[in-house]
Amino acid sequence: MADVVIVGDGPAGLSAALFLSKNGLDVVLLGCDETPAHLALVNNYLGIPQITGTELLRVGRQQVARFGGKLRHQTVTALEQTDAGWAAVTDTNEKVEGRYLILATGTKRDLAAGIGLATAEDGSVVNERTGRTALPGLYCIGWTARGHQIELVISAGDGAAAALDILTIEKGKPFHDFDVVPKGE
Ligand SMILES: Cc1cc2nc3c(=O)[nH]c(=O)nc-3n(C[C@H](O)[C@H](O)[C@H](O)COP(=O)(O)OP(=O)(O)OC[C@H]3O[C@@H](n4cnc5c(N)ncnc54)[C@H](O)[C@@H]3O)c2cc1C
């Protein structure tokens, strides 16, 4: 069983996977890589003058893999609550289990509806600032949890926020992913 299963491989899911795998959790990311970010020519991501969405995603996937996150090209058809946490049921009928599950499926909200998550008037899933939902161990982030006010950097930020919340629970104290420049550089 993984520590965290993430469903959705857009900027939100990839960002959560990066923070979690970089900090030692066992992460499985399931997605079909059909994010609209592939259409974007990105001029509004702080610190990056210009990049295509496809290149941003390519580098993001590499970062996740470098830290040991497992990226699997797979469609998820249902979510199930288990004794230990959550299971994502794939279209090949496999159950991928994790103690936590992060839902980041963009504007596709059928999986969220399938487990009865509350939604706002615009159809977005109701969550907390950390991405927590009312269901234990279940987070919902990025476009799935937001209405029309969405950008790549917001989804990536949501992924980071959910990851830090999980890492804070796991480590038992407030967790920051702060790296520093080595002395002399
Ligand atoms: C034409 C266009 C141009 C844009 N340009 C910009 C821009 O210049 N700058 C900017 O900041 N933003 C831009 N955006 C917005 C940007 O694309 C979104 O903010 C961003 O993609 C949201 O990320 P997300 O991870 O929340 O969701 P998504 O990117 O939608 O990712 C969801 C992922 O989940 C996967 N998925 C869904 N359901 C399942 C399932 N059942 N099983 C497995 N996987 C599943 C999808 O395949 C997808 O890969 C643009 C959007 C469009 C449409």
Q: What is the pLDDT of residue 34?
A: 98
In terms of pTM, does the model score above 0.95? yes
Residue 185 confidence (pLDDT) above 80: no
Helix, strand, coil distribution of the chain in percent, nearest 5: 30, 25, 45
By most ligand atoms within 8 Å of CB, the mutation choice from 38, 73, 124, 152 for ligand 1 is 152
109-145 tens-digit pLDDT: 999 999 999 999 999 999 999 999 999 999 999 999 9
List the domain boundaries for the chain. Answer: 2-171
112 Cβ closer than 6 Å to some ligand 1 atom: no
For the beta carbon of residue 57, count every other beta carbon within 10 angstroms: 21
Burial of residue 67 (number of CB atoms within 10 Å: 0-12, 13-18, 19+): middle
Q: What is the pLDDT of residue 147?
A: 87
Residue 91 confidence (pLDDT) above 90: yes
Going from the Cα of 107 to the center of ligand 1, the distance in angstroms, rounded, reads: 8
CATH number for domain 2-171, candidates 3.40.50.10540, 3.40.50.300, 1.10.3720.10, 3.50.50.60: 3.50.50.60
140 neighbors 51 (Cβ within 8 angstroms): no
